[in-house]
Copies of this chain bind each other. A is one copy, B any other.
Amino acid sequence: MKEQRISSSVIKRLPRYYRFLGELKKQGITRISSGELAARMKLTASQIRQDLNNFGGFGQQGYGYNVEMLYDEIGEILGLSSLTSAVMLGIGKLGVVVAENMDFKKQGFKLVGAFDVSEEVIGKTVAGIKVQNLSELEVFCKKHKPKAAFMCVPSSAAPELAEKLIELGVVGFWNFSHYDIRLKHPDVFVENVHFGDSLMRLSYKIKNS
């Protein structure tokens, strides 16, 4: 494996390869040529070969790719086999939707705690986890040492909370709030889900067509 040298644009595409290969596996397909995979994914065969060469070149001339091997390897690179403990902050409507619609274990995480400040949700259960008062976060993190935080809080609450979580050992954020965590903390890992940015890009595409 040559993970160290994988470019960020390849990383961006990895989950899509992983999903596609998972589909092929489900359909009982055991091997596939770069040409056919390209046709299914609407990419070029040469881009597929280039991308997948990053992972040790499982393709063989005249044979194609071994679907299961490639699927497992990409899953391994994505780090899905060992689960990172995560806490969810903010169990409002968005938090509940996210918690209940995701199969975190399939994506490499284990949700171990859920926190909110609202009396309305504290004590309720979401995705099998009892929602705790935010005031218990520190004690909880010192005990369970989560490495990741899912931020479903309003933007106004995000800066202080991010600060606190980083102090408590969190190194990665899945961030739904409109606060740019990396600006103040360039050393943490962040994946932003910015609904607004995505919608503006759609606006661009439609209007510049």
Q: Which residues of A contact B (CB under 8 A)?
A: 3, 11-12, 14-16, 18-19, 40-42, 77-80, 82, 84, 93-94, 96-98, 100-102, 104, 106-109, 147-148, 171-174, 178, 182-183, 186, 189-191, 193-209
Contact = CB atoms under 8 A, between A and B. Distances in A.
Contacts of A194: 15
B93 A97 contact: yes
A139 B25 CA distance: 40
A104 B195 CA distance: 10
B200 A107 contact: yes
Given A19-B196, A106-B196, A189-B205, 16 more contacts: A15-B196, A15-B200, A78-B207, A79-B204, A94-B101, A101-B195, A102-B196, A108-B203, A108-B207, A148-B202, A174-B202, A189-B206, A191-B198, A191-B199, A191-B202, A193-B195
Copies in the complex: 2
A84 B191 contact: no
A174 B189 contact: no
A15 to B, nearest CB: 4
Contacts of A173: 202
A189 B209 CA distance: 9
A207 B84 contact: yes
A109 B148 CA distance: 34
Name the residue among A19, A109, A171, A191 with the largest chain B CB count within 10 angstroms.
Answer: A191
A16 B201 CA distance: 11
B193 A193 contact: yes
B109 A199 contact: yes
Contacts of A15: 194, 196-198, 200-201
Contacts of A189: 202, 205-206, 209
B14 A204 contact: yes
Nearest to A195: B102
Contacts of A101: 93-94, 195
6 cross-chain pairs, A with B, having the tightest CB-CB distances, nearest first: A79-B207, A108-B203, A15-B197, A189-B205, A191-B202, A107-B199
